Structure 1
Amino acid sequence: MYSSCASLLLISLALRNLSVASEARAFFVFGDSLVDNGNNNYLLTTARADAPPYGIDYPTHRPTGRFSNGLNVPDIISEQLGAEPTLPYLSPELKGDRLFVGANFASAGIGILNDTGFQFLNIIRINKQLEYFEQYQERVSSLIGPDQTQRLVKKALILITLGGNDFVNNYYLVPFSARSREFSLPDYVDYLISEYHKILERLFELGARRVLVTGTGPIGCAPAELAQRSRNGDCDPELQRAADLFNPQLVKTLNELNGQIGSHVFVAVNAFRMHMDFITNPQAYGFVTSKIACCGQGPYNGVGLCTVASNLCPNRDLYAFWDAFHPSERANRIIVSQFMTGSAGYMDPLNLTTILAIDARV
């Protein structure tokens, strides 16, 4: 009798797992600090957001490893999907049914290139993130089998955010950096794009079929760069030029990849335009400033890290930037609204609402 009941329980659990894997849409996240939700908490690295006042507006009011006062872009996308936030891949809580929600592999400080962010020491570089994605699939396969795992991955939504650090934490990190001596800026951008192409091809090989690929934001407008490079508060033209060179080439590469595949696998997300909307006209979006970070010190609160000793604004909703590099939760919500319903100038060729509607019919 006990044996029979145990067998029925195991069968019931297996069927439940199959149902979860087939009905839920998993969400996977790759990239840098803009989308990291806590992986670096588990690493010996200086690129961490695990101390107050980070997380001051998170539901727990505690730091989570997100480089935000509250939620970041992946969290808000998960809200739109009607799903719980993905856990960091390194979290010990990512097991059992939680695996079917997806996973966040992102790690603050990384870039397209392996030498980007070297000063942060131990971070999960993009090739390692892809290795973890393979490992994830093996773990899920042990629960529901390889066929259902492949189906889960192919139905999943994927977000990848790379590129900004390859400029601010590599090419322009110091005057006459190794990469700037090796490449002119246009040649460096060509090199980045060629390496990114390989990363995206590998993601496709691993089963990715709906991938949101964010371009580089207006890196010359971040408070950290204003503090270092701007005399009058204007965005730094050299870093803006870098983004202007990088983003169109990325869109071209995505179009080429989609053409080769014969499907709209890769969706170009115009992060530059999304940010510039509220950077150029903060008052129209309810911000008092898009130049001064809420948390920091020095000019524009853009010098050094956000810590308990930093200046801290009382109302984070009034600031476009939370810290020297990262948007506030409210700015992230504005950005995700363009993910959802933005025109082709923001989301090319499809916005996320359209993608979800199309995929629901398949």
Structure 2
Amino acid sequence: MVIRLLFFVLFWVTAFGVAPEVSEPRPFFVFGDSLVDNGNNNYLFTGARADSPPYGIDTPLHLPTGRFSNGRTIPDILSEVIGSEPALPYLSPELTDKKLPLGANFASAGIGILNDTGMQFGNILRMPVQLEYFREYQRRLTSLVGQKQAKDIVNRALVLVSLGGNDFVNNYYLYPFSARSLQFTVPEYVIYLMSEYRKILKTMYNLGVRRAILMGSGPLGCAPGEIVQHSLDGECAPDLQAAAQIFEPQLAQMVQNLNHELGADVFVAANTKLMHNDIITNPQAFGFETSKTACCGLGPYNGIPGSCNPSSNLCNNRDKFVFWDSFHPTERASRLIVEQMMNGTDEYMKPMNLTTIMYLDSHM
């Protein structure tokens, strides 16, 4: 029976490339860093902000929203795919009782797996705080719809998590001889990160999460902000790329081990480094002009960190650039990443892609 079901799923994915439509919006929760923060940091006293132009230039109102993008981000696009509304920032007053059952976004730019990551940004929602807000969210939801329905909403939600990149760029490699680099070699550091990440995921599971996509570290050394700081020849910074090369497979292995322990495929590892590499190594094949220079910024490759502001250089056509600012992808690049999440092979999505997830979950 299992073999028949998997055969049918593969047939559906191959033949149609999409999952069967879902009759009601699926709840959607988001945790993590600036790649998925859609405005929580607007409400905090922090230097990690995206609330001034030209951020948001390609949104319907052409105004900044707190997203680190010219337009929509990966969670926004994923919410389109699953037929839901974009998850509102948990700190936003727009997250009213009416919107609460649709989910929430707890992400905060600057944070990492470790609590000492992003200390330079001041007041940000580190993972213990995001998880405490998730508990608070569930208490609010229970008061609204009752315990049984609240539990069902959380259990059937899709969850997106983006963690790991900042633990390198805003911790280990933040400056020469950082505390973490003196404490650990890179392989040792990744092992430590995995042990801490595993604790976070176990907490999520204990709080009711039953299906979560985990974004990897991404191509750390290829962001314009890292090229300008750590590359001698204008190519991807080798040390950061090597770190990502270690992180991604260990994330997949940790997920496999944890799923085995839980007895279900709760967590899915998305190899975002590989997804980005396809675009970065051959941007012209995907319709981009460059993957090295940011659309918005200052300095070499427009890569000076934090330099995307009203006085920055700004490209005319964002669809021709992989990177929007020194670290974050453009909306168009994000859409290509989501396509890989939807339909990618297990080289990209382990143990399954989102199309398969949506089919299986619709028949549970």
Q: Which amino acid aligns with 1:41?
A: N
Aligned to 2:309: 307
Distance in 2 separating the partners of 1:304 and 1:280: 22
- Which residue of 2 is the match for residue 358 of structure 1? 360
CA distance in 1, matches of 2:116, 2:351: 32
Once the two structures are overlaid, the 10-residue window that deviates more, 274-283 or 183-192, is 183-192
After TM superposition, list the pairs within 5 Å mapping 1:181-220 onto structure 2. Answer: 181-220=182-221
4+ residue segments displaced more than 3 Å: none
- Deviation track 1:97-139 (CA, whole Å, cap 9, x = no partner) reads 2011100000000000000000000000011101100100000
Matches within 5 A, 1:100-179: 100-179=101-180
User: Could you tell me which residue of structure 2 aligns to residue 35 of structure 1?
Assistant: 36
Task: Give the CA deviation at 1:323.
Answer: 0.2
The amino acid of 1:259's aligned partner reads H
Q: Which is bigger in relative contact order (C-alpha 8 A, separation at least 6)? A: 2
2:331 maps to: 329
Q: Which amino acid aligns with 2:343?
A: T
Cα distance in 2 between the residues matched to 1:321 and 1:93: 30
Once the two structures are superposed, residues 267-303 of structure 1 have per-residue CA deviations (whole angstroms, 9 ceiling, x without a partner) of: 1101011100100000000000000000001010001
- SS at the partner of 2:99? helix
The answer as to whether partners of 2:297 and 2:309 remain within 8 angstroms in 1 is: yes
Structure 1 unaligned segments of length 5 or more: list them: 1-21
AA matched with 2:211: R
The residue number in structure 2 matching 1:238 is: 239
Please report how far the alpha carbon of residue 59 of structure 1 lies from its aligned counterpart in structure 2 after TM superposition: 1.4
Question: Quick one: percent identity of the two aligned structures?
Answer: 62
Distance 2:79 2:162 in 1: 16
Amino acid at match of 1:193: M
User: Offset at 1:231?
Assistant: 2.8
Please, what TM-score do these two structures have when normalized by structure 1? Answer: 0.93
Alignment check: 8 A CA contact 1:158 1:208 kept? yes
Deviation of 1:233 (Å): 2.0
User: Cα offset for 1:162?
Assistant: 0.2
Alpha-carbon separation, structure 2, partners of 1:100 and 1:61: 28
C-alpha displacement at 1:37, in angstroms? 0.2
Q: Equivalent residue for 2:16?
A: none
1:27-66 aligned at under 5 Å gives the runs 27-66=28-67
TM-score (norm 2): 0.92
Conserved 8 A contact 1:54-1:67 = yes
> Pairwise CA RMSD of aligned residues?
0.9
Answering whether residue 73 of structure 2 is matched by residue 69 of structure 1, we say: no
AA aligned to 1:343 is T
Contact 1:24 1:100 in 2 (8 A): no
Question: For 2:104, what is the secondary structure of its paired residue?
Answer: strand
**SS of residue matched to 2:221:** helix
> Which runs of structure 2 are paired with 1:254-265 in the superposition (5 Å)?
254-265=255-266
1:23, distance to aligned residue in structure 2 (A): 4.5
Q: Render the CA deviation track for 1:195-252: whole Å, top value 9, x for unaligned.
A: 0010000000000000101111010000011111223221111001111111111111
Counterpart CA distance in 1 for 2:25 and 2:343 is 22
Matched AA of 2:187: P
Residue type of the alignment partner of 2:320: L
- CA offsets, 1:328-356, max 9 Å, x none? 00000000001111111111111111111
- Counterparts of 1:203 and 1:82 in 2: how far apart (Å)? 23
| Comparing 23-32 and 160-169, the one that deviates more | 23-32
Give the Cα separation in 1 of the matches to 2:85 and 2:27: 10
Q: Distance in 2 between matches of 1:98 and 1:112?
A: 28
Q: Deviations over 1:150-170 (max 9, x none)?
A: 011000000101000000000
Letter in 2 for 1:307: N
SS in 2 for 1:97: coil
